[in-house]
Amino acid sequence: MTGDGVNDAPSLKAADIGIALGSGSDIAIEASDMVLLDSFGAIVEAVKYGRVVFDNLKKTIIYLLPAGTFSEFWPIITSVILGLPQILSSFLMIIICFLTDCAAATVLAYEKPEADVLLRKPRNLKKDKLVDWKLLFHAYIFLGLQESICSFAMSYWYCQRRGVHFSALWLGYGEYPAGYDVVYVNKVLAEASSIYFVNLVVMQW
């Protein structure tokens, strides 16, 4: 809906996309979603890139949540509650946040428009949110659990192969059974932390 007068304000507000002319009244401009300053041809491009920004934000969020929060959260929880060593070091968490997350998230932010971007119906502002339960389910349950479980499994499997058994770490809170060399165990755990990191980043990519 396009309009420029005071009488157009209710229609502009009710429309899927209310467009006020730049020369229109202040009330019409306030009620609109978009203000047209140039030609009417700009409307299509504005709608197109508005949808592209929304799509790319969703892609970026769903990329960042599983590894950037969920899979970094569980090594700390297992350390505090189950007494296991923190299998992903704090330093490697920072590396994920500042390097591996940023690079790919920036690329996703500049994704080109999908083929059907202008064929979709307008979003329902009350129902179609940027972050909804479907996105959270996909990020945390579908992706996050896979990444976390696989990274944990690879790390502790490596420890097992190097002679540091899971039963020796479980509920240990930094204490190891007699017969384990603390220096050797810490060396194996440092290597296992790198395995968790590499596995997580590769799965994230």
Q: What is the dihedral of CA 12, 13, 15, 16, to 10 degrees?
A: 120
Q: Please spell the DSSP secondary structure of 44-61, one letter per residue.
A: HHHHHHHHHHHHHHHHHH
Tokens of 70: 């969920």
* Coil, strand or helix at 35: strand
> How does pLDDT run across 141-162, given as a tens digit for each residue?
999 999 999 999 999 999 999 9
Query: What average pLDDT does range 158-180 have in this prediction?
Result: 90
Choose from 72-76, 123-127, 176-180 the range with maximum mean pLDDT.
72-76
| Cα 72 → chain centroid | 13
Give residue 175's pLDDT band: very low, low, confident or very high (50, 70, 90).
Answer: confident
> How does pLDDT run across 79-113, given as a tens digit for each residue?
999 999 999 999 999 999 888 888 889 999 999 99
Tokens of 126: 């009350």
> How does pLDDT run across 12-60, given as a tens digit for each residue?
999 988 999 888 899 999 999 889 887 888 888 888 999 999 999 999 9
